[in-house]
Amino acid sequence: MSQVDTQPAYEDPATPGRIVELLSQGEVTLLGQIPWSSNVIFLTNVDDGDLSTLAIYKPRRGETPLWDFPHGTLCLREVAAYVVSRSLGWPLIPPTVLRDGPHGPGALQLYIDADPRASYFTLREERLPDLLPLALFDLVANNADRKGGHLLLDQGGRMWAIDNALTFHPAPKLRTVIWDFAGDSIPDEYQDDLRQLWDGLACKSALGQALNKLLAKDEIGALQVRLRTLLESTVFPHPDPSCRQVPWPML
């Protein structure tokens, strides 16, 4: 039995599909609960007889109720974030699927073997340009909780965005530590990607069909409004001084 590389080579377009297939169909074995999380999450092994990998399992029944996000939807939002990132081509979000597991339906995400010392706060001086697509994605997804520790650095030096559950709320909820690009122009190549995402949502595409199974109609409508706003302004917004737009704790 071979082990899946937990740093999938995104240069090879076939690799994510194989990993998604493994996560979707492999046998899930619990290895232990991960402590210090606001929701119940588990480290698991996923095995289909030929390949195996470590993965993070977030069962719906283990989600802590929140006053502003509908209960039982966080796992759906994790998957939606991955779907949108794949459509855009950025940022790197570990392959994530919705499936049944040992504790019922939930999100199952590829485990990333990361440097435990790395975070946004340790990387921003040396890798600031690499943070731009992550900052832009959080604007698109309306991320309500982008902490510094939600950025992983793998053994190959690639940055991954995790903990994307508090996303796609129809009301403005943006809270992030990444405000380095406020007032800067959105590079043309990223505007092109945003425009392609807009076009994909505007027609009956596979993307639209996938998101319709994960998000409510008003959430998809709000996503389209955010895209249109970014394409019209072509700049990163400044934080709103009338509300708190930095998460706490920040790490």
Q: For residue range 172-194, list pLDDT tens digits in order.
A: 999 999 999 999 999 999 999 99
Q: pLDDT tens digits for 47-98? A: 999 899 999 999 999 999 999 999 999 999 999 999 999 999 999 999 999 9
The proportion of the chain whose per-residue pLDDT surpasses 90, expressed as a percent, equals 84
* pLDDT for res 15: 57
Give the up-direction half-sphere exposure of residue 208: CA atoms within 13 A in the CB hemisphere: 13
- Dist. CA 249–CA 251, nearest whole Å: 6
Q: pLDDT at residue 2 above 70? A: no
Q: What is the mean pLDDT of residues 28-53?
A: 94
pLDDT confidence bin for 117, thresholds 50/70/90: very high
Exposed/middle/buried for residue 250 (C-beta within 10 Å: 0-12, 13-18, 19+): middle
Overall pTM surpassing 0.85 (yes/no): yes
- Dist. CA 42–CA 24, nearest whole Å: 16
Q: What is the mean pLDDT of residues 137-145?
A: 98
Where residue 161 falls (left for φ over 0; alpha for ψ -120 to 50; beta otherwise) is beta
Q: Residue 33: which residues within 8 A CB-CB, separation 6 or more?
A: 40, 41, 42, 43
Q: What is the mean pLDDT of residues 89-108?
A: 97
Work out the widest C-alpha separation in the chain, in whole angstroms: 56
Exposed e or buried b per residue across 37-48, where buried means at least 16 C-beta atoms within 10 angstroms of its C-beta: eebbbbebbbbb
Q: Is the dihedral of CA 82, 86, 91, 96 positive or negative?
A: positive
| Runs of H (alpha helix) within 49-104 | 74-88
- Dist. CA 107–CA 11, nearest whole Å: 25
DSSP 155: T
N- to C-terminal Cα separation, the chain: 38
Report CA-CA distances (Å) from 157 to 72, 137, 144: 34, 20, 26
Q: pLDDT at residue 251 above 80? A: no
